[in-house]
């Protein structure tokens, strides 16, 4: 008990100390969270009428953000595969950071679902034993299952490795290796199940295409690592993480391949829609060229495509891939491109025109933007605090009293734990 | 726990069968008129209200309730709604009758697009009257030149007189599918198909995730985006637990073929309201019923048959 208390106190010390940039960052997140809380208070009082969703477009911005973040959560952990295959030195660090990002992303996913619910007070109705989950028929129950399972899995691995490192011990391979191996199919499953949630709706031809799940995975392989690449550089600079340039460039190269697959699948979809030109083409048209005066999404669609194509080229050409300026630019472009593509670019055209042919043009309200800002604030805060605690533990500067002292070279324990 | 797929099937001689829809404050079965009025009029204090909310939170799924618990639930909903509207409200949970499977026919060549069905439905089923107004029936105006084609459909036509030249009208409401996609996707089993073919929602169990609205190919499910605006003077006090009882904010609602009427042997409100007789209704299992006559003598089709939802709702052209 006392040990746990010491640990918590130590963590509190870690997160309350930092330089000016750290506190400025926390302040920014605090403001975002406050705005989100005010927005949600308004929505809770008036109902979802505070959004621009209506019967015609009954899922929109919140569900789009949810979809994007599921991809981020999935792909962060999938980085374990290349880290292992290419024998990067600090595989443990890659795993931990990927899982911390996954934990934060899943937190945001669950919050986006919560704010989208008409009756969040009844969430117990989905819980086994307490409620009546419509499992296995309803894909949403599957999604709840895999998302929470994935969250638990990541928490277990992270807590185990950090707790052991905190006591100066090596983590148990018998615990960690199977769990990490399990987290790879779990990461694939959360994104696949989320794709199936839309994919299974025969009433929405835009989603009812079997290419949806593969496209989800391809785009997730771009957006998740984009965050990780930036993070690697930050940690390398400020926390002395021994991540080699080669590893970063390798991830960028893999992202180029993933983006190629994503763009190829997009092309396959566009060909099928435009060449066959059935009435199902209308959804695709609404996204790319608008229907009559209804053109709300067109600028987003082309922005997304432009970002993705430019990022693809930047990551494909070795010279731009190996320059940190263009590499980071590519990361930002991918983030923007996939955010639009998997967010509003997927959800809104699925519902416009609606099932009776009506065109209701949806754009998010200020309340929706503020709630989304608040949720991203919570997610980034969770991630920041987790990293702030995890890094000193991994580096050996935050240890339990009486634990073996870290080696003289702070990088040594990292290297030693590589394989 | 045994799972039932419907409300208990009514046997002959069960109470509450008289087709008496005018007498608003009929005491529900198992409750004397005096008890009922006293409960309704006196209302309960804050304590009862709090207890009620806790009870609601801890409530079981409708299919898991014993007959006694179901009765208690009905009384509670009656009490709550009577208080909310200051009028006596009845709530029944009348189940499907054996040997009944409802079918609906709509004659596209007769419909003139007057929307009387839309407003009769709103009145009968206690939909929100404004901000936003909820309609369970949508009348689509279509071009004669295009036939049934949603690309050229307009639900918001305004006209001094209908039908407008060059147009015909196609009302759409819940098609009461035999294979309902909305039921499949619901994560909480808050919606299901009853044995007489009616797809119902328990608005106490719905979490407002709106999966069913994405899944429905007919736009038949409607969400209470705000607190429904239903003036007490416009309330229809004779309600069914799975049908027209007033709904709260944040849940989905839909057409139930006027379950509160049709299970008592009455026509749905839209059928009664139609001035041109375009709407037909009856028991598909009864060879003498109106709907069976229609299917025998006319050629019927179902909407979006390629989705294999197998509706209980048939369109036809009588002339």
Average pLDDT over residues B141-169: 96
Of A118, A279, A355, Cβ closest to residue B223: A118
CATH fold for domain A18-404: Formate dehydrogenase/DMSO reductase fold (1.20.1630)
Query: How many domains would you assign to chain B?
Result: 1
DSSP helix/strand/coil, B200? strand
**How many angstroms from the chain centroid is the CA of residue B295?**
23
Is the pLDDT reported for residue B2 higher than 90? no
The pLDDT value recorded for residue A406 is: 58
Structure tokens at A127: 């819980």
The pLDDT value recorded for residue A85 is: 74
Q: How confident is the model at residue B110 (pLDDT cuts 50, 70, 90)?
A: very high
Q: Is A289 on the interface with B (CB under 8 A)?
A: no
A151-160, B177-186, B212-221: the lowest-pLDDT one? A151-160
The pLDDT value recorded for residue A12 is: 94
Average pLDDT over residues B241-251: 97
With CA atoms as reference, the chain A residue closest to B183 would be: A138
pLDDT digits (tens, 9 = 90+) for A209-229: 999 999 999 999 998 899 889
Q: Is A138's CB within 8 Å of B61's CB?
A: no
The pLDDT value recorded for residue A234 is: 87
Average pLDDT over residues B126-154: 96
Q: Is A121 on the interface with B (CB under 8 A)?
A: yes
A401 versus B239: the higher-pLDDT residue is B239
In a domain, B187, yes or no: no
Q: Is B187's CB within 8 Å of A118's CB?
A: no
Taking CB atoms and an 8 Å cut-off, how many pairs form between chains A and B?
A: 146
B132 min Cα distance to partner chain A (Å): 9
* Residue numbers of the domain that contains B38: 21-93
Characterize A85-123 residue by residue with b for buried, 16 or more Cβ atoms within 10 angstroms of its Cβ, and e for exposed: eeebbbbbbbbbbbbbbbbbbbbbbbbbbebbbbbbebb
Q: Could you tell me the pTM of the whole model?
A: 0.91
Residues of B (278-317) whose Cβ lies below 8 Å from A: 307
Q: How confident is the model at residue B42 (pLDDT cuts 50, 70, 90)?
A: very low
Q: Under the phi-then-psi rule, with left for phi > 0, alpha for psi from -120 to 50, and beta for the rest, what region is B59?
A: beta
* Selection from B162, B204, B171, B186 nearest residue B62 by Cα: B204
Q: Is A202 on the interface with B (CB under 8 A)?
A: yes
Q: What ipTM does the predicted assembly reach?
A: 0.92
Collect all residues of chain B within an 8 Å Cβ-Cβ radius of residue A202.
181, 217, 307
Is the pLDDT reported for residue A199 higher than 70? yes
pLDDT digits (tens, 9 = 90+) for B185-221: 999 999 999 999 999 999 999 999 999 999 999 999 9
Structure tokens at A161: 């490795």
Q: Is B132's CB within 8 Å of A125's CB?
A: no
Work out the burial of residue B62: count CB atoms within 10 Å of its CB; fewer than 13 is exposed, 13-18 middle, 19 or more buried: buried
pLDDT digits (tens, 9 = 90+) for B131-142: 899 999 999 999
Q: Rounded distance, CA A256 to CA A320, Å?
A: 12
Summary mean pLDDT of chain A: 91
Cis peptide before B57 (omega within 30 of 0): no
The pLDDT value recorded for residue A377 is: 98
pLDDT digits (tens, 9 = 90+) for B288-298: 999 999 999 99
In a domain, B84, yes or no: yes
Q: According to the 3-state scheme, what is the secondary structure of chain A?
A: CHHHHHHHHHHHHHHCCCCHHHHHHHHHHHHHHHHHHHHHHHHHHHCHHHCCCCCCCCCCHHHHHHHHHHHHHHHHHHCHHHHHHCCCCCHHHHHHHHHHHHHHHHHHHHHHHHHHCCCHHHHHHHCCCCCCCCCCCCHHHHHHHHHHHHHHHHHHHHHHHHHHHHCCCCCCHHHHHHHHHHHHHHHHHHHHHHHHHHHCCCCCCCCCCCCHHHHHHHHHHHHHHHHHHHHHHHHHHHCCCCCCHHHHHHHHHHHHHHHHHHHHHHHHHHHHHHHHCCCCHHHHHHHHCCECCECCCHHHHHHHHHHHHHHHHHHHCHHHHCCHHHHHHHHHHHHHHHHHHHCHHHHHHHHCCCCCCCCCCCCCCHHHHHHHHHHHHHHHHHHHHHHHHHHHHHHCCCCCCCCCCCCCCCCHHHHHCCC
pLDDT digits (tens, 9 = 90+) for A184-197: 899 999 999 999 99
DSSP helix/strand/coil, B254? strand
Is the pLDDT reported for residue A298 higher than 90? yes
Collect all residues of chain A within an 8 Å Cβ-Cβ radius of residue B206.
118-119, 122
Q: Is A351's CB within 8 Å of B132's CB?
A: no
Q: How confident is the model at residue A11 (pLDDT cuts 50, 70, 90)?
A: very high
Where along chain A do its domains lie?
Answer: 18-404
Collect all residues of chain B within an 8 Å Cβ-Cβ radius of residue A139.
185, 211
The pLDDT value recorded for residue B38 is: 42
Residues of B (171-210) whose Cβ lies below 8 Å from A: 172, 181, 184-190, 205-210
Is the pLDDT reported for residue B49 higher than 50? no
In a domain, B29, yes or no: yes
Average pLDDT over residues B90-94: 96
Q: How confident is the model at residue A90 (pLDDT cuts 50, 70, 90)?
A: low
Average pLDDT over residues A246-260: 91
Q: Is A47's CB within 8 Å of B224's CB?
A: yes
Candidate ranges A71-75, A290-294, B23-27; pick with highest mean pLDDT: A290-294
Is the pLDDT reported for residue A136 higher than 70? yes
The pLDDT value recorded for residue A241 is: 77
A384 versus B16: the higher-pLDDT residue is A384
A213 min Cα distance to partner chain B (Å): 18
A161-170, A323-332, B268-277: the lowest-pLDDT one? A161-170
Of A116, A121, A141, Cβ closest to residue B187: A141
pLDDT digits (tens, 9 = 90+) for A350-379: 999 999 999 999 999 999 999 999 999 999
A17 versus A79: the higher-pLDDT residue is A17
Is the pLDDT reported for residue B275 higher than 50? yes
């Amino acid at each position: 008990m006392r040990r746990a208390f010491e640990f918590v106190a130590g963590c509190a010390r870690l997160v309350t100390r930092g330089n000016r940039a750290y506190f400025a960052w926390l302040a920014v997140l605090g403001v975002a969270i406050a705005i989100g809380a005010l927005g949600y208070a308004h929505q809770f009082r008036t109902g979802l009428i505070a959004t621009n969703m209506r019967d015609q477009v009954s899922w929109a911005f919140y569900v789009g953000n949810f979809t994007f973040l599921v991809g981020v959560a999935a792909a962060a952990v999938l980085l374990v595969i290349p880290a292992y295959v290419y024998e990067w030195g600090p595989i443990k660090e890659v795993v931990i950071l990927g899982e911390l990002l996954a934990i934060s992303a899943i937190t945001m996913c669950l919050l986006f679902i919560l704010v989208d619910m008409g009756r969040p007070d009844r969430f117990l109705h989905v819980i086994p034993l307490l409620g009546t989950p419509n499992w296995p028929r309803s894909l949403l129950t599957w999604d709840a299952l895999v998302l929470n399972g994935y969250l638990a899995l990541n928490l277990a691995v992270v807590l185990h490795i950090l707790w052991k490192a905190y006591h100066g011990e090596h983590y148990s391979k018998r615990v960690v290796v199977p769990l990490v191996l399990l987290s790879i199919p779990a990461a694939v499953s959360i994104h696949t199940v989320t794709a199936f949630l839309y994919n299974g709706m025969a009433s929405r031809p835009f989603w009812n295409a079997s290419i949806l799940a593969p496209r989800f995975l391809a785009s997730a392989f771009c957006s998740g690592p984009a965050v990780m690449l930036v993070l690697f550089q930050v940690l390398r600079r400020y926390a002395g993480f021994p991540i080699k340039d080669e590893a970063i460039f390798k991830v960028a190269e893999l992202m180029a391949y993933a983006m190629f697959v994503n763009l190829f699948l997009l092309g396959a979809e566009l060909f099928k829609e435009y060449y066959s030109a059935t009435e199902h083409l209308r959804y695709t048209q609404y996204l790319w060229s608008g229907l009559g005066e209804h053109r709300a999404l067109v600028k987003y669609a082309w922005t997304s495509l432009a970002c993705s194509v430019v990022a693809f080229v930047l990551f494909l050409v070795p010279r731009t891939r190996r320059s940190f300026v263009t590499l980071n630019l590519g990361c930002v472009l991918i983030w923007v491109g996939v955010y639009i593509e998997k967010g509003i670019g997927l959800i809104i055209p699925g519902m416009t025109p609606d099932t009776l042919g009506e065109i209701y043009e949806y754009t998010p309200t200020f309340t929706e933007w503020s709630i989304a800002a608040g949720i991203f604030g919570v997610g980034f805060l969770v991630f920041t605090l987790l990293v702030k605690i995890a890094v000193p533990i991994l580096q050996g500067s935050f240890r339990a009293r009486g634990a073996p002292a870290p080696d003289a070279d702070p990088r040594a324990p990292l290297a030693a734990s590589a394989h | 726990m045994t799972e039932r797929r419907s409300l208990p099937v009514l046997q002959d001689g069960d109470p509450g069968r008289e087709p008496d829809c005018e007498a608003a404050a009929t005491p529900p079965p198992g409750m004397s008129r005096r008890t009922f009025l006293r409960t309704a009029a006196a209302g309960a204090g804050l304590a009862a209200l709090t207890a009620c909310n806790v009870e609601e939170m801890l409530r079981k799924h409708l299919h898991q309730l014993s007959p006694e618990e179901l009765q208690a639930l009905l009384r509670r909903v009656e009490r709550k709604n009577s208080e909310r509207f200051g009028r006596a409200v009845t709530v029944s949970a009348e189940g499907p009758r054996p040997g009944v499977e409802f079918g609906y026919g709509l004659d596209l060549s007769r419909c003139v697009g007057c929307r009387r069905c839309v407003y009769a439905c709103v009145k009968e089923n206690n939909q929100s009257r404004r901000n936003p107004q909820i309609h369970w029936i949508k009348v689509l105006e279509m071009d004669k030149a295009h036939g049934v084609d949603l690309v050229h459909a307009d639900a918001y036509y305004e006209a001094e007189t209908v039908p407008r030249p060059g147009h015909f009208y196609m009302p759409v409401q819940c098609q009461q599918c035999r294979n309902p996609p909305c039921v499949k996707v619901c994560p909480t089993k808050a919606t299901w198909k009853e044995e007489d073919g009616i797809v119902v929602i328990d608005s106490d169990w719905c979490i407002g995730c709106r999966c069913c609205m994405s899944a429905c190919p007919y736009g038949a499910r409607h969400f209470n985006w705000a607190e429904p605006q239903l003036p007490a003077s416009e309330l229809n006090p004779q309600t069914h637990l799975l049908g027209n009882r007033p709904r709260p904010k944040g849940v989905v609602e839909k057409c139930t073929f006027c379950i509160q009427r049709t299970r008592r042997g009455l026509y749905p409100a839209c059928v009664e309201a139609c001035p041109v007789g375009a709407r037909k209704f009856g028991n598909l299992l009864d060879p003498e019923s109106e709907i069976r006559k229609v299917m025998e003598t006319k050629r019927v089709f179902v909407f979006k048959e390629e989705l294999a939802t197998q509706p209980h709702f048939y369109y036809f052209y009588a002339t």
